[in-house]
Structure 1
Amino acid sequence: MPGHRTSTNARRRGLLVVGAWVAFAALAAGSFATGALVANAQPPAVADALAISSPAPSTPVSTVPVPTRRPQPTAAAAPEAVRTCSVGSLAAASGMGTFQGTVRKADTGEILFDRNGSTYSRTASVMKVLTSAAALAVLGPDYRVQTSVVAGDTPGTVVLVGGGDVTLASGSSNIYHEASTMGQLADQVKAAWAADPAHAGVPISTIVLDSSLFGGDPWQSSWDRVEQTDGSTAEITALMVDGDRANPSADTSPRSADPVSRAGQAFQSALGSIASGAKLVGGVASPGAVSLGAVRSAPVSTMVQEALLRSDNTEAEMLARLTAIKLGAGNTFASLQAAIPKALASSYGLDTSNLVIVDGSGLSNDDAVSALFLTALFDKINAREANLGVILDGLPVADQTGTLSYRFTGANSVVNGKVQAKTGSIDTANTLAGVVHAADGSTLTFAFFSLDSSIDGGRAALDALTVGIYTCGDALSNG
């Protein structure tokens, strides 16, 4: 029937509307935001009905749990070196005597190995490293030492003024590199003398020798005089030639009892006939005296490297004394105790409070330095801090240069070219300190003391231990 169909269709539409309302109410209960979107999407009649029949919604509270923040991963720690390589037996070798020593990893300063490294003991010639570092800081690498001649107070008098240059050559050359000569100085004086009408035809009758720049006893009281007679060390005076060697071209040569007079004689000889009858007398130049000539030494950088390579005691003492004078500490051996530690502390930040500095060369048994101090200094040398690269470049190299050119032979030759170090030997101590470029590519600084050992036994033991740390490298154990 048509009417029935109409009623049925109406009922169906009513049910669909009711169903839509039920579905919409369920969605609205779950989420206000979603319900609002649905309502906005309905025809106007549905939206109006919803607004009339539904209570005003409150602010929804989220029921979704907030996730807990997970800990963020940190960068993986660098793996620690496995240090199981021991050199303990080498340090305790019978030829070593009483051993003290320290090894550091150069780039970090980490102490890898230590045996009584804080004990202060005699260093022998390793002391020259401290002297060199102080001289480079105070004098500077370009400083040159001057020897001059000025007019005297009376006619016919000249004054030869020593500035501390022990490298000045008596003749045409000597063992020192870039040394000025007495001949060069004499030529200047003769020219100046001849250019002054007051001196026309007048010979030089008196040569005054002024060595007053250095004071006190020229020989350190704790030194053995055999060093002078056998030829390794001169008396320390501000005026001398050839390091006071009898043979200017020999490293080791007997030294005289009067370096100042020997220098005066060399100058007189270089002047020739103009001063052939001149008297040599001691004295001091007057302030403001007229200059007649001057020559200068090689720069400090050159002299430092010479002193290290040859272990030249006299050259090292010159550098130490000039450093003390420049600092205003004095001009005697006693002044070095104030000067050298002050230079090292102020220039490189080292703790120098326990250093004992009796001389600049290390000849004295009374000097006292620790292995810990030396390795701290060598860390700075290896890093070329300030002007310390001069020392690094001047250190003897195993089987190549200086006092290491004849060391590390046979099985020990594995370190040839890999060890840069300063040697030291006196009657009561053998020492070795410097830098090792180890087999694994790491760089180590070290300082080893072999006390109360024989020269041959101590050196052999020190060499073997050095080879040991070269082999171990960063795996070096303190056990």
Structure 2
Amino acid sequence: MNEEPDDASAPMERAAVDPARGDGVPAEASADRSSGVLSRIQAVLGAHRLATAIGAGALGLLLLGGGALAIGAAVRTPPAATPVAATTPAAPTPDPRPTPEAAAAAVALRICSVAEFASDPRLAELQAQVVNAGTGEVLFDRGGSTPSRTASVMKVLTSAAALAVLGPDFRATTTVVKGAEPGTAVLVGGGDVTLSRTPSGDEGVYPGAAHLDDLAAQVRTAWDADPANPPLTRLVLDASYFGGEEWQPSWNLKERDDGYMSNITALMVDGDRDDPYSNTSFRSDDPIGRAGEAFAEELGGIETIERGTAPAGAAQLGAVSSPTVAQLVDKALVVSDNTVAEMLARLVAIRSGAGNGFDAINAGVLAGLAGYGVDTTGITIVDGSGLSDDNAVPPSYLTRLFQKIAAREGQLGVLLDGLPVAGERGSLSYDDRFTGDNAVADGQVIAKTGWIDTGYTLAGVIHAADGTTLTFAIYALGDVSDDAKQAIDTLATGFYRCGAQLSNR
């Protein structure tokens, strides 16, 4: 289940949030300017309504402080003059006063509150953080440093690691080699879960996927080119590139039955879907066998299919390759494809030398993330997709990583371009996201969605109404239902409206 379904729920009505702005007023150091201070504060109050009593109180204190400084200056008595010998008079020392910029910074207030939205009971156990991407300042924090389950937001970490370790142009390759026994070919899985049984030129759910009919044609041509070859009647399936269990023990098996996740093997076709044209489709308990049967049908003449491994140094009969990592990242993010995310995580673990099973993913992905320079202390990565409740990532890690993503550091621009966009692309364009008053943020919230039974999540980048770029992460964890999505959208829209004036109260 891990991601939002295509069907819509009724939009929730929420009142719009109008962020108020506060301007700093520098205190003057002389009594004869007190009236000028008061006049400017009155002008500010007239031009910018303060939405809360806190803001008004703070400005009141500022006025009192400014008045005290002025009174102090007025009553200060200069020391008595002392006769001295005639000398060249020294240049007068200017009276030190704060610059307008420093004074404004000292009294700047963030008074745009989203407290009402953050207390929505639909968010259950809320964890969230918002950072000003330009300055690095934390504007809003609710348990932001606590590692917790991420749901599909985990795919952001997996994708970032894949771009660093594999590179955007890497492709996984499926090969066929000559078997040790006469009349035998070995189909060797290279971890490409997108290999398709649909006819070449007819794309299923994976654009740019390789096709079994192309691979079979290569094998037949190579086999028939050697007159010494006996008839090709035996097919061996080698899926040894991935090791360990095929199903992560912490995953709920209904994710497979409901069509959101497959067993993870190095050899499969169409993500092991019953329907290769549907993103959500029932998956089997034997993706390797299903792939073998589909390939045997394309080859023709196969009498025996069995499991095994390719002989060392065997002659290659054919090869096809997956879409690029950049294309796979797009698929993993925009529609939250779980199987592709697990493919990327496993390939990262193998390339980084951590191993080829689920138990290697944590070390492999963390190694891939290390180069981004964001502290990964406390993070636990159990899978690449985020299906497991045992994953643990603090919102604060995501806000910092998204600063790098928003700046397109390294290859991270590929990730940014693959994210859903509110009202426009992917899982944030479904008709139950950013509806009603929240539609004001359409096109401005660029983020990864997440959903498991115990939580809904959203993390990414917001181009706020005041022009500030924010990075954010929202976790709604615990006893949650589908309407948590609307509560998350409303909170994110509040961040959008407030921008740099977002209050942490």
The TM-score normalised by the length of structure 1 is 0.84
1:155 paired to 2:179: no
Q: For 2:342 and 2:217, locate their aligned partners in 1 and report how far apart those are by CA, in whole Å.
A: 29
In 2, Cα distance between equivalents of 1:86 and 1:312: 36
Runs of 4+ in 1 over 4 A off after TM superposition: 68-76
Matches within 5 A, 1:150-189: 150-172=177-199, 173-189=203-219
| Residues in 2 aligned to 1:74 and 1:302: alpha-carbon distance in whole angstroms | 54
Q: How does 1:44-443 map to 2 (within 5 A)?
A: 63-67=87-91, 70=94, 76-77=100-101, 79-80=104-105, 81-172=108-199, 173-199=203-229, 202-272=230-300, 276-345=301-370, 347-406=371-430, 407-443=433-469
Say which of 484, 491, 495 aligns to 1:469. 495
CA distance in 2, matches of 1:93, 1:402: 26
Cα deviation per residue 1:222-256 (whole Å; 9 max; x = unaligned)? Answer: 00000011110000000000000000000100001
Distance 1:233 1:412 in 2: 31
Shift of 1:107: 1.4
Deviates more, 1:188-197 or 1:246-255: 188-197
Could you list the per-position Cα deviations for residues 111-151 of structure 1 after superposition, in whole angstroms to 9, with x for gaps in the alignment? Answer: 00001101111100000000000000000000001000011
Residue 63 (structure 1) shift? 4.3
Q: In 1, distance between residues paired with 2:402 and 2:87? A: 68
Deviation at 1:197, TM superposition (A): 2.0
Report the TM-score, using the length of structure 2 for normalisation. Answer: 0.80
CA RMSD of aligned residues (A): 1.6
Matching residue of 1:50: none
Using the TM superposition, name which of 465-474 and 169-178 deviates more. 169-178
Q: How big is the shift at 1:472?
A: 0.5
Deviation (angstroms), 1:453: 3.6
- Alpha-carbon distance, 1:70 to partner: 4.5
Of Structure 1 and Structure 2, the greater helix share is in: 1
Q: 1:65 deviation in Å?
A: 3.2
Aligned-pair distance for 1:310?
A: 0.8
Number of aligned residue pairs: 413
Match of 2:101, SS?
Answer: coil
Greater gyration radius:
1
Which residue identity does 1:185 align to in structure 2? L
d(CA) in 2 for partners of 1:455, 1:319: 30
Amino acid at match of 1:357: I
Question: Secondary structure at 2:244's aligned position in 1?
Answer: coil
Q: Deviations over 1:429-462 (max 9, x none)?
A: 0001011111111111100000114332311110
Specify the SS of the correspondent of 1:218: coil
Alpha-carbon distance in structure 2 between the residues aligned to 1:62 and 1:206: 115
